[in-house]
Amino acid sequence: MQADLPLLHDFSLASLNTFRIPARARHYLRVDGAAELDTVRRDPALAGLPRLVLGGGSNMLFTRDFEGIVLHMTGVGKEVLGEQDGRILVRAKAGENWHAFVQWTLAQGLGGLENLSLIPGTVGAAPIQNVGAYGTETRDVFHSLTAYDMASGEVCTLGAAACRFAYRDSIFKHPEGRDLVVLDVTFALPASWSPNLRYAELARAVEEAGLASPTPQDIGRTVEAIRRRKLPDPAEIGNAGSFFKNPVVSREHCARLLAEFPLLVHHAQADGSEKLAAGWLIDQCGWKGRALGAAGVYPKQALVLVNLGGATGEEVVRLARAIQADVKAKYGVELEPEPVFI
C-alpha cells in the first residue's frame, strides 16, 4: 500500500452515518480531490478492494462492517462563476455541507435552492440522489459536474443529459456510473427569480405567514420551519430522512385504489401515471409511532424510520421489510427504500 496516503484502519463509521449505526471500515481515507483518488487507483493493494464513496452518510444504512476502503469526500470550496444565458452559475466542491451551501447562496442574494433547505448530506451527493423537496429537484437547478473515473483515471465533465436524472435516481446509481466519483457540482440559478410554490403545503405556509411577496430567504426559512416541525434532527435521533420513495403507479391502478380507498393521497404525473404518498400508505397500515426492537417509525412522519437507541442495521431492515409487506398486502404497491443498504 502507498505509505504516503493518510489511510486509517479499522475505522469507526458510527459518527459518519446519520442513522448512527455502529459499523467499521477496514480502511478509511479522507479525499480532497482527484489526487487522492488517482493514488488509490494506482495502488494495486487498494485498487482491488471493495470501494465505498461517502459524503454526509445521510442516505445509507450500514448492515455490516465494510471490508474495503471508504473514500470520504471532504473537499470544500465554493464560488460564484458568473452569468450565462440568464442563469447564475455557482460551483461547490463535493464535501461541502448541503444546507450550509444553500444558506451561502441565499446570502449572496441568489435564489433557486431555497426549497431544498435543511436537506442533510453534502453537495456531491445531491446529483447522485437527485435530491428533491417541496417542488424542486436537483435536476431543476443543475448545470454540470466534474467527476473522477476510477476505471480510466480520467477527470470528466457531465451535463444534465449525461447524468440521466430521474426520480431519486441518476447514472451514478447504475453499473455504468459507479466508477464515477463526483468532485464538484455547478448549479445554474435563475438571474430573474420567482418563488416555486407548486407544493401545496409550502404555498399554504407562505400564505399563512402573510408573505405576499416572499424573498428566496423567506421561502428558505419557511421550508426549514416545515422540516423541523415534521422531521427529526439526525443529531438527536438517528435517521436517514425519508426512508421510502413515493411509489408511482399506473392511472388504472390508482383508479382501482381510489374506488376502495377514497382518501388515497395521489398526484398526477406528466406521463399519465400517479405518484402515491408513501407516508400516507404506511400510516394507514398502522405503523406510525410503532417499533420493532430499537428501530421505529417516527410519530410525526410515517415516512421516517428512526434509531431509538442502539439499533443495528439489521433491525432497521427488519422493520422496513415488515412495512413493505403490509403496504403490499393492503394496496398492492411496492415500496422502494431510498437509502443504500451496505
- What residues act catalytically? 168, 242, 338
Residue 112 in contact with residue 189, Cβ under 8 Å?
A: yes
β partners of residue 146: 157, 184
Q: From CA 280, how far away is CA 332, in angstroms rounded?
A: 14
Residue type, position 44, single letter: P
DSSP state, 192? S
Contacts of 128 (CB under 8 A, 6+ apart): 170, 172, 173, 182
- DSSP, collapsed to helix, strand or coil, labels residue 300 as coil
Using CB atoms within 10 Å of the CB of residue 80, give its burial: 0 to 12 exposed, 13 to 18 middle, 19+ buried. middle
Burial 296-305 (b: 16+ CB within 10 A, else e): bbbeebbbbb
Amino acid at 45: A
> Cell numbers of 190, please?
435563475
255, 263 contact by CB (below 8 A)? no
- DSSP secondary structure string for all residues of 122-155: BTTHHHHHT-EETTEEGGGGEEEEEEEETTT--E
Q: How far is Cα 307 from Cα 295, in angstroms, rounded to an integer?
A: 5
Q: Is residue 30 within a helix (H) or strand (E), and if so which, with residue range? A: strand 24-31
d(CA 41, CA 44): 8
Q: Nearest Cα to 80, choosing from 155, 143, 161?
A: 143
DSSP annotation of 115 reads G
